């Protein structure tokens, strides 16, 4: 029996990954739509909390203002990238040639590396035109799915008014419903805390990086600032890439190594100051993932959904970890996923006995009573 269960589980996992790969065109826009829908609602809550002379704006007006804000931001982003990517792609072959020349003529002895064939391998691995083309293709793919994303967001807004009704119908017990809503509110607050702090620190890192790169005259500083903002959502690995990539661009566009070292030290200092000092003070250690879990997650979702999957997978995994950490039954999984095993999210003892099993029975009994009437 155990063998059959293990085989069935393995087949389900294989089937799930197959569906994720085959259904990318439908599922990836859905994930993006869920992320945007949540961010729009979060911003609407911020607007609703703002009081002018004691007056709070109505929730529908706050939601409309949030939607318009995101539309303007997305239109500005599309316009900026659309007008810049062609120039980036055009100059990348020249950058690659310059970068290869710089790496092959480093100001110290690299003979041993060249004899072992490592230098050609390094220059082949750092393929700027390929990276730029992949990012442009991912951006174009998301734009092509824009209509489907908007449809998904529309249906999510239509559905969100029924969430409370479904919880009431699902639980069926007023006392248990109160516990369920308490759990959901705590999970919502922790997720909102993570997203708010991460958006703030990522935006701060992106803006300061853009200002620094612009000040030292690195080409396309706006593009690299935006890339740094996105990479900052990937702990550890994202910070490393966000430091090395602009430094490689600086090395490729300059005649010497001064600009390269300046960018490497400057962006590295920003990453350490914000990512290792400011962010932990704001967020604590509650939302840290193990570096090996991050790498495995990036490799898996990079294979399934390429670049968009790599950017989306870590924030969603952190959100899943937050949810798991609230329940005693699943807290051990959250501990395994965490970086140091220390979870600052408390557990309510009442949740230890929480189960939807009795809820299903209640629903069946309610349905029978309704049918009898």
Average pLDDT of span 48-56: 85
Query: Long-range CB contacts (< 8 A, 24+ apart) of 155-164?
Result: 156/33, 156/34, 156/37, 157/37, 160/37, 160/41
Q: pLDDT band for 7, please (50, 70, 90 cuts).
A: confident
Q: Count CB neighbours of 185 within 10 A.
A: 10
Q: What per-residue confidence (pLDDT) applies to 44? A: 93
Q: Is the pLDDT of residue 5 over 70?
A: yes
Q: What per-residue confidence (pLDDT) applies to 124? A: 67
Q: Is the pLDDT of residue 51 over 90?
A: no
Q: What is the percent of the chain where pLDDT is above 70? A: 85
**Which tens digit of pLDDT belongs to each residue from 354-363?**
554 444 444 4
Q: What per-residue confidence (pLDDT) applies to 262? A: 96
Axis crossing angle, helix 59-104 with helix 221-231, rounded to the nearest 10: 110
User: Mean pLDDT in the chain?
Assistant: 84
H or E segment and range at residue 328:
none
**Which tens digit of pLDDT belongs to each residue from 135-186?**
888 888 888 899 999 999 999 999 988 888 888 888 777 777 887 888 888 8
What stretches of the chain show up as alpha helix (H) in DSSP? 2-22, 24-49, 59-104, 111-115, 118-125, 128-144, 146-160, 163-171, 174-215, 221-231, 237-253, 258-271, 279-283, 291-325, 331-337, 357-372
Q: What per-residue confidence (pLDDT) applies to 288? A: 74
Q: What per-residue confidence (pLDDT) applies to 29? A: 94
Angle formed at CA 12 by CA 29 and CA 305, multiple of 5 degrees: 30
| Out of 200-209, 313-322, 336-345, least confident range | 336-345
Q: What is the percent of the chain where pLDDT is above 90? A: 34
* Residue 338 DSSP label: B
**Which tens digit of pLDDT belongs to each residue from 298-324?**
899 988 888 889 889 888 898 888 888
Average pLDDT of span 64-73: 95
Q: What per-residue confidence (pLDDT) applies to 234? A: 86
Q: pLDDT band for 212, please (50, 70, 90 cuts).
A: very high
């Amino acid at each position: 029996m155990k063998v059959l269960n293990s085989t069935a589980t393995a087949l389900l996992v294989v089937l799930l990954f197959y569906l994720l790969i085959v259904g990318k065109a439908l599922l990836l826009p859905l994930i993006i739509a869920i992320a945007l829908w949540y961010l729009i609602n979060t911003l609407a809550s911020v607007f609703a909390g703002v009081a002018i002379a004691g007056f709070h704006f109505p929730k529908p007006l706050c939601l409309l203002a949030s939607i318009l804000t995101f539309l303007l931001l997305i239109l500005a982003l599309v316009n900026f990238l659309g007008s810049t990517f062609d120039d980036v792609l055009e100059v990348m072959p020249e950058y690659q040639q310059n970068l290869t020349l710089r790496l092959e003529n480093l100001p110290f002895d690299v003979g041993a590396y060249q004899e072992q064939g490592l230098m050609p391998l390094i220059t082949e691995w750092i393929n700027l035109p390929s990276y730029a083309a992949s990012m442009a293709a991912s951006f174009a793919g998301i734009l092509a799915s824009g209509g489907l994303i908007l449809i998904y967001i529309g249906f999510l807004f239509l559905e969100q008014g029924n969430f409370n009704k479904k919880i009431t119908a699902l639980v069926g017990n007023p006392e248990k419903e109160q516990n369920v809503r308490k759990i959901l509110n705590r999970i919502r607050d922790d997720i909102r805390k993570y997203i708010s702090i991460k958006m703030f620190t990522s935006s701060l890192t992106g803006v300061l990086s853009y200002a620094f790169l612009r000040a030292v005259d690195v080409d396309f500083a706006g593009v690299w600032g935006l890339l740094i903002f996105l990479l900052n959502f990937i702990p550890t690995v994202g910070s490393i890439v966000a430091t090395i990539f602009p430094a490689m661009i600086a090395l490729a566009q300059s005649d010497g190594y001064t600009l390269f070292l300046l960018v490497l030290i400057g962006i590295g200092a920003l990453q350490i100051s914000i990512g290792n000092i400011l962010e932990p003070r704001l967020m604590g250690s509650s939302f840290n993932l193990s570096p090996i879990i991050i790498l495995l997650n990036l490799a898996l979702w990079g294979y399934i959904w390429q670049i968009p999957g790599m950017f989306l997978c870590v924030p969603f995994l952190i959100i899943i970890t937050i949810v798991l950490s609230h329940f005693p039954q699943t807290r051990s999984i959250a501990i395994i996923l965490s970086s140091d095993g220390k979870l600052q999210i408390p557990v309510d003892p009442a949740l230890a006995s929480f189960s939807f099993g009795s809820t299903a029975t209640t629903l069946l009994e309610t349905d029978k009573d309704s049918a009898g009437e």
